[in-house]
Structure 1
Amino acid sequence: MNMPLNTSSIHTNDPIEQARYNMVEQQIRPWNVYDADVLELLHSLRREDFAPLAYRNLAFMDMEIPLHGTPEEGIRTGQCMLAPKIEARLLNDLQVRKHEKVLEIGAGSGYMAALLARCSAQVLALDIEPSLVEKARANLQRAGISNATVRQGDGSRDALPEGPFDVIVLSGSVSEVPQDLLAKLNDGGRLAAIVGDFPVMRMTIVQRKGPRFETTQPWDTTSPRLQGFSQPSTFKF
């Protein structure tokens, strides 16, 4: 069993480290993030280095950070970093293990791929936007992450010969669980996605158990839409 994080040993004289400490203790831990390894990782991996320079001062705030343009544009296009507590709770609930292979859809800045890479054997992160692919690659290289690959691609339709995967993370919301992606899970594998329509969305975790799939929806949240995934028809006779 993981032991609680010893926060008394953390030095917080530096303003950046104080902000990081506050993020973990005031936003993340109260959101039922209890895994000590996850909490340590959030302290050690520099989130601010993955944020655009113009928004670096927002890296520890409880909000989505746009990866280009205004905050409104980031939310509209889905091209943003998720709020820190959502990223942390995802890691906490998925319990990614060192031998596992991970697929992330919506690489963005590369921060979630970096978190996943520190927990797993290998990460493949896809993004539909070429400029974000280049930024994510550069950020991961600077952070010394060597077991994460970022590729331009559309997670809603690409063949993904690297699969099957042990963990699939959708870093953004979709209207429904993508059934094609469930077929890319290993036995025992988990898919995590924020599912629903604003303002009602739920974190949805689907685990493959042989021919069956078990679904849980442990918490409510909202998130910008991932590009590429279809919307259900709202037409009615």
Structure 2
Amino acid sequence: MPKNVIVTGGGSGIGAAISRVFLDKGHTVFILERDTGAAEKVFAGAGAHLHIISCDVSDQARVAAVMDDIAASATIDVLVNNAGISHIGTVETTSEADMDKLFAVNVKGVYHCIHAAIPHMRQNGGGVILNMASIASHVGIADRFAYSMTKGAVLAMTYSVAKDYVADGIRCNSISPARVHTPFVDGFLAQNYPGKESEMYDKLSKTQPIGRMARPEEVARLAYFLCSDDASFTTGTDYPLDGGFIRLNS
């Protein structure tokens, strides 16, 4: 049965791959994006089942208004909290402004979307929430102090929401990817390692015991399964998609 799916940050990278797999399976997708122009280019010609909506997930009032607008004409069946930003630094090199920015998007952004979506899901008799956590939720990653803090919070939110709303028919799970080859990675390498992009890409790839980075489509396929009726018995669980990073590097 076709579902209505909200994907935050669904216009690029992992989010775009998740949005596309739902579209390809015949579902209706609402992408919440700050950069709607870029998302429209990525999904040019996608058809009437795709809706791209301007929304900054750090803005609670805007998130609530968007959720209410969607719910006025469609059920909210699935929410994928994918929007997030990264940061490089230790606790000493992370400024208060850096911390506030990451917390606003990676933690409060997830909270805002869940807070606004759950009343509609309860009214409809249930739904599915999928949060994008990270291997940084589980193990220490060098120079990722603020990012790791925020992703740890996402993991804790996943467990809490799953516990509180299981009786309402709302399932909540998360995925913890290792490095995924997205345009963000290419941009990061070009900015920080000019002339050494290939060398550093190979080095980062080999931090996964499997020997490469994940592809966005691999994350998307797992996301689709966890949001589908095939995973109807699954809630309160995090799924590392890490090429062996967490267990095999210890």
- TM-score, normalisation: structure 1: 0.41
Greater helix share, 1 or 2?
Answer: 2
User: 1 or 2 for the larger relative contact order (CA 8 Å, sep ≥6)?
Assistant: 2
- TM-score, normalisation: structure 2: 0.39
Greater strand share, 1 or 2?
Answer: 1
